[in-house]
Amino acid sequence: MKKQAFDTIKGIVIVSATLLLMAFSPVAAESEIAAGTNVGQIQKGNASWQEFHSVVGNCTMQFPKQPDHLSEKMRLPEEGFDLKYDAYISSVDQKTVFLLLVAQYPDFVDETYARMSLEGFLNGILTHNPNNQLIFADLSLVGGHEALDFFIRTGGVYFKGRALMVKNSLYLMAMECEVQNYDETHYNKFVQSFQLSK
């Protein structure tokens, strides 16, 4: 029963993360600018990155500018619990988006599920869109926790990130950008700035 409930909530987080990324894709950001967003608010080139503290995720991370925050709590009546996730989204320019998503699983899900959770997360992203092409995926240890680094291409867009399982929380750090705007330096700065609070 617990395994079935875990698979259900894992799927919901995958779809939610994918929908969030689609909602804040570089194309959507570009449309928002065209619709009248103040371009002066979007920093180009070397952005002045700033540290952000997520109380919910109990972590700190650097973003190119103060991130927008979305929070969702979904009742899963068949499973008998709520699923909560918070997403922090920021852009370095109109074609590059950075995301930190923190999903809170029920207490019975812990790091013993980490590898299964991370592999399931990646498979969910890949099967969500048949045009997603996996460039690479590597399991590793980050701060003593299992992590999955991945790099996906969908047409002219790159989606690169790291998913990390800590206790019953899944952290997804990702950069989405158009291929010609890919910047390894910005990606590394973003992902390597992640720190769990003590």
The DSSP-derived string for 133-194 is EEEEEEEEEETTEEEEEEEEEETTEEEEEEEEEETTEEEEEEEEEEGGG--HHHHHHHHHT-
Both tokens of 115, joined, read 């590898």
Are the C-beta atoms of 148 and 162 separated by less than 8 Å?
Answer: yes
Residue 7's pLDDT is what? Answer: 46
pLDDT band per the 50, 70, 90 thresholds, residue 18: low
Domain 2-196, CATH: 3.40.1000.10
Across 175-192, average pLDDT: 93
Residues ≥6 apart with Cβ < 8 Å to 66: 50, 52, 90
Q: What is the pLDDT of residue 32?
A: 38
Residue, of 4 and 168, whose pLDDT is higher: 168
Neighbour tally for 177: CB within 10 Å: 24
- DSSP secondary structure of 27-59: HHHHHHHHTT--GGGS--SS---EEEEETTTTE
Which of 82-86, 136-140, 192-196 is the least confident region? 82-86
pLDDT tier, 185 (very low <50, low <70, confident <90, very high otherwise): very high
User: Which residues lie across from 165 on neighbouring strands?
Assistant: 170
Q: 94 by DSSP, 3-state: which?
A: coil
3-state DSSP assignment of residue 116:
helix
The single-letter DSSP state of residue 96 is E
31: number of CA atoms within 13 Å, CB side?
7
Where does residue 9 rank: exposed (0-12), middle (13-18), buried (19+ CB within 10 A)? buried
Return the higher-pLDDT residue of 31 and 78: 78
pLDDT in tens, 4-16: 444 444 444 455 5
Domain ranges of the chain: 2-196
Q: Which of 106-120, 140-154, 165-179 has the lowest mean pLDDT?
A: 106-120
Question: 43-87, pLDDT tens digit by residue?
Answer: 344 458 999 998 888 899 999 999 988 888 877 676 666 768 898
